[in-house]
Amino acid sequence: MGRSPGGRTGRSAEPGWAWFVGLATLDVLQRVDHWPGPNEKLTSTWHEISPGGPATNAAMAHAALGGTALLSTALGSHAVGQTIRGRVEAAGVRVDDHGAGDTVPAVSSIILSGTGGDRAIVSADGTGWSVEEPDRVPALDGCGAVLLDGHHPGLALWAARAARAAGVRVVVDAGRWKPAMGELLGLADDVVCSADFTMPGAADATAVLEALLARGVRRAAITRGRDSVLWASADGGDAGSPTSGRIPIPSVDALDTLAAGDVFHGAYVHAVVQAGIGFPESLTYAAAVTADKVQVNGQAAWLDALRARRTSPVGAP
């Protein structure tokens, strides 16, 4: 299906809800005072068990900021899946489960070292599931955006096509290149990448942004940790030419950077859906929310920090 002229900027000025599609995991986190060596056993100084996954964390961030979120993922009937579901729903997110049977959802083992935010992650991601394209689509009335993390590719492509048919803004979380990414990019309005994301033939971040716009993406950005967010847009330039810029990152002492990118995506979607503001303004809001997140330790704490924030993005009506 072709794109509408100029791309979509949201369904309406009225706040709507957001649809998140992708991976849900059970994260087991351990904080240690140094990285373990070969065969070394350590006693952790702190631990937490929480739901995770890019789309799941983004959905919970959006909900914590006051938005309404639906998460489509694969959980199934296994006790691990039901544990994830219970905790995601407790965070205020509705769950649309496309997992069949008692396959164990991914369990992520995460080590956090010291107090500087460094971490190591081992996870099966969505490799244990083969999720076919569903035969039903949620009613998308009032949906302002769908965010796709590219995991469970059949689910991601189904959601992207459904959103495009309904005129819903499609946002892709491009953490790294995945098999379905080429087709997803052809359906995307917005792509927010990590610095690890690469594209064939793109030698640097500027080239990645240019390549995304050349594929028909309307708005593209690259987050780079503590460095400024780079962005480019096909909207708003003179004579239709692209515009671009940088969004500064607030300077804070980072304690826990786990899921920082996911929170950025959730806050970005929140700004788009709840406020209907421009692209750079939405990125600026997401950067500020993420700065709040990385200053606290663990998911329970950052969800509380986001609930306490709940301020309107700058430029919101």
Euclidean distance between CA atoms 28 and 111, whole angstroms: 9
Q: Is the pLDDT higher at 112 or at 4?
A: 112
| pLDDT tens digit sequence for 170-190 | 999 998 888 788 899 999 999
Q: What is the pLDDT of residue 192?
A: 98
Q: What is the pLDDT of residue 237?
A: 54
Q: Could you tell me the pLDDT band of residue 311, with boundaries at 50, 70 and 90?
A: confident
Euclidean distance between CA atoms 66 and 263, whole angstroms: 14
- The answer on pLDDT for 58 being more than 80 is yes
Q: 23: helix, coil or strand?
A: coil
- The answer on pLDDT for 9 being more than 90 is no
Q: What is the mean pLDDT of residues 11-15?
A: 46
Question: What stretch of H or E contains 259?
Answer: none
Number of neighbours of residue 54 by Cβ within 10 angstroms: 26
Q: Which of 38-52, 116-130, 295-309 has the lowest mean pLDDT?
A: 116-130
- The answer on pLDDT for 14 being more than 60 is no
Q: Which of 89-93, 131-135, 223-227 has the lowest mean pLDDT?
A: 131-135
- The answer on pLDDT for 43 being more than 80 is yes
Classify residue 208 by its DSSP letter: H
Q: What is the pLDDT of residue 162?
A: 96
Q: What is the dihedral of CA 172, 174, 180, 184, to 10 degrees?
A: 30
Range with top average pLDDT, 34-38, 121-125, 167-171: 167-171
- Residue 172 φ then ψ, to 5°: -110, 130
Averaged pLDDT of the chain:
88
Question: What stretch of H or E contains 55?
Answer: helix 54-64
Q: 60: helix, coil or strand?
A: helix
- The answer on pLDDT for 2 being more than 60 is no
**How, if at all, do strands 169-174 and 93-97 pair?**
unpaired
What share of the chain in percent tops pLDDT 70?
Answer: 89
Tokens of 109: 């083992």
Q: Could you tell me the pLDDT band of residue 316, with boundaries at 50, 70 and 90?
A: low
Q: What is the pLDDT of residue 193?
A: 96
Euclidean distance between CA atoms 241 and 258, whole angstroms: 37
What is the model's pTM?
0.90
Q: 57: helix, coil or strand?
A: helix
Q: What is the pLDDT of residue 40?
A: 92
- Residue 39 φ then ψ, to 5°: 65, 15
